[in-house]
A and B are shown apart, each in its own frame.
Chain A
Amino acid sequence: AQKITQTQPGMFVQEKEAVTLDCTYDTSDPSYGLFWYKQPSSGEMIFLIYQGSYDQQNATEGRYSLNFQKARKSANLVISASQLGDSAMYFCAMIQTGTASKLTFGTGTRLQVTL
């Protein structure tokens, strides 16, 4: 069974600093995808970034990058130059390629950006 672990229930970061949100996963399937979503207080889950298990390079999307360490089964999200609007819940999620198509989420990390 696939499992996602986010060990940081809450994080603080100062504006303009970088922050890393941790995510580890467990799966026996060699083919899978990893996602990060942002959920502000409004409730909508906003897609941030995707990493495929066979991708050779770490994914990047603007200020977001995914530090993918396959051997350690970790997929940490790095946010550079934090902004006040980055304050939200962040969820790591995994999907297994194939017929399962089930997105499994971690419990989330609440990020608070301070002045």
Chain B
Amino acid sequence: EAGVVQSPRYKIIEKKQPVAFWCNPISGHNTLYWYLQNLGQGPELLIRYENEEAVDDSQLPKDRFSAERLKGVDSTLKIQPAELGDSAVYLCASSHSTGGIHTDTQYFGPGTRLTVL
């Protein structure tokens, strides 16, 4: 079974430029997560989707970050415009959440390492 796929793996851009990351979750997983991981830190949740619906985007900086999961499968995370402080690893994860039980294991992709110059 294929794991979570992310692209690109690495991205270098200049500040104020836009950037987009793509994620394809594990087949059949209805819940998709985007995490931000700064150097030397654990990942922090940016947004969580259940199917097409963003059910938790409280940590997403909405002035410059946006995300979508139009058909309830793959997802795109966008930053516009990028700032120097956005340099980090952006991780996508997915899980198969059933009913109201949310301890389903999250499986992660390899991440996109963003460098903003």
Residues of A participating in the B interface, judged by any CB pair closer than 8 Å:
4, 32-33, 35, 37, 42-47, 50, 52, 91, 93, 95-108
Contacts of B55 in A (CB 8 A): 101
Interchain nearest-CB distance for B15 vs A (Å) = 23
Expressed in whole angstroms, the Cα–Cα distance for A14 and B55 within the complex equals: 45
**Contact between A107 and B111, CB atoms less than 8 A apart:** no
- Number of B residues with CB within 8 Å of any CB on chain A: 27
Residues of B participating in the A interface, judged by any CB pair closer than 8 Å:
31, 33, 40-45, 48, 55-56, 89, 91, 93, 97, 100-103, 105-111, 113
Expressed in whole angstroms, the Cα–Cα distance for A103 and B109 within the complex equals: 15
Contacts of B91 in A (CB 8 A): 45
**Contact between A107 and B102, CB atoms less than 8 A apart:** no
Q: Quick one: which of A4, A44, A105 contacts B111, CB cutoff 8 A? A: A44
Contacts of A96 in B (CB 8 A): 102
- Most-contacted residue by chain A among B48, B103, B110 (CB, 10 A): B103
